Structure 1
Amino acid sequence: MIKWAKNLFLSENITPKKKAKIIKNIEKKNLLLEVYCITFASNPENLFDIMNANEFLFPYYSRKEIQILGIALSKKEAFELVKDMLEEIYRETGGFQVREYFKET
């Protein structure tokens, strides 16, 4: 099951119209080219996972609860977005408590 963060981070090139289309396609399990999602890390020792949106097509992910925190249109943009997210989280919390930050927003 996919959940969306209330404060969803987007890479620069994603317009509100593109955002709505991407979300709809991910929820309908449509194939998407070059869309990457930032989620909570599957390993609690890490902060984030960067996943190609097409990974959500696998049955494994339909049994998992996944919260999408950010969307980017390329892998390079995904890395930039993670950097921006970490900078904001650090500025707001004084640390890297990612899960706590998204619980509050």
Structure 2
Amino acid sequence: MLKWCKDLRIGEGVKKADKIRRKLNHGKIVPGVYLITFSENPRNLLEIIPALTIIQQSAADICPEIIGLAGDKDEAVDMVVEIIQEVYDATGDFRIEEYWKNR
């Protein structure tokens, strides 16, 4: 089962976000959708993952908490920039996961 943030950020290019979440939770293919997640790699701030990569159960099991849904890759990149800028403006730091979970 995927881990979804309570305050999930949804891009304008995403239509029927609830339906997309249901499909992803059940391992169904959702082309063109990108997920924004916290990074497991300490050298990265966030990750952009094509939704197609998590249809395999093993990939879904290790997927970090999802904080954003984007309708295409450009929107995903823009969303990551907005999130990083928001955190930096609020804290003067780049501790995104800590900020996101404590706001």
**TM-score, normalised via structure 1 length:** 0.87
Helix, strand or coil at the partner of 2:69: strand
Aligned-CA RMSD value: 1.5
CA distance 1:6–1:26, shift in 2 (3 Å): same
Partner of 2:72: 74
Partner of 1:51: 49
Partner of 2:14: 14
Helix, strand or coil at the partner of 2:84: helix
State how far apart, in whole Å, the 2-side matches of 1:101 and 1:38 are.
16
Deviations 1:33-79 (A, max 9, x none): 10000111121111011000111112322432520011101011100
Tell whether the 8 Å contact from 1:9 to 1:85 is kept in structure 2 after alignment: no
Provide the aligned length of Structure 1 versus Structure 2.
103
CA distance 1:67–1:91, shift in 2 (3 Å): same
Structure 1 vs Structure 2: percent identity of aligned residues?
34
Helix, strand or coil at the partner of 1:71: strand
**TM-score, normalised via structure 2 length:** 0.89
Q: Which runs of 5+ in 1 are unaligned?
A: none
Tell whether the 8 Å contact from 1:5 to 1:102 is kept in structure 2 after alignment: no
